[in-house]
Amino acid sequence: MARLQEFYQKTVVPQLTTKLNRTNRMSLPRLQKIVLNMGVGKALQDKGRLEQAVEQLTMIAGQKAVVTKARIAVSGFRLRQGYEIGCRVTLRGKRMFEFLDRLINVALPRIRDFRGVNPKSFDGNGNYSMGLAEQLVFPEIDADKVNFTQGMDITFVTSTRNDDDARELLRAFGMPFREN
């Protein structure tokens, strides 16, 4: 069992039970999945960039990344339907908790001038999204072998439909929200 998963069961659940004033454990918010996404727009000119992005995202997630294709054509970007333009990984279970642990305790503190993540980035349905400017904050990536920096989006999908409950869940995990 992942360290953060055990922490969730032994510490976060009782904490949320009292804070949200609920007696049923199943009504408490829980993390369902984490989706990592890299949009590699430069992949249209250089196919090597997409391959390197897939390799790096696979190393970060510990799970094989899937190449994503354009759903629609956009003539302004010289983009046609079916072009490979990014990659993504969906993490669940043990890998999800291990990634969240590494993100909170290792990657986010390595960001230069980090003051916390935006507490307003919830979508209204209890899901939280954040972006990272570069993949080098993760210790799995060797900075000497990186030819280009690539940003990524991270989405936390929770079981609740309420942003406040989801915020309390992520705060209980130790997510460093910025004070406004």
Residue 40 CA to residue 63 CA, distance in Å, equals: 19
Residue 180 binned pLDDT confidence (cut-offs 50, 70, 90): low
Compute φ and ψ for 130, nearest 5 degrees: -145, 160
pLDDT tens figures, 95-106: 999 998 888 888
Helices (H), the chain: 3-7, 13-20, 47-61, 93-102, 163-173
What is the set of domains in the chain, with CATH numbers?
3-39+89-173 (3.30.1440.10)
Average pLDDT of 34-42? 85
pLDDT, average across residues 65-71: 84
pLDDT confidence of residue 157: 93
- Check residues 80 and 94 and name the one with the higher pLDDT: 94
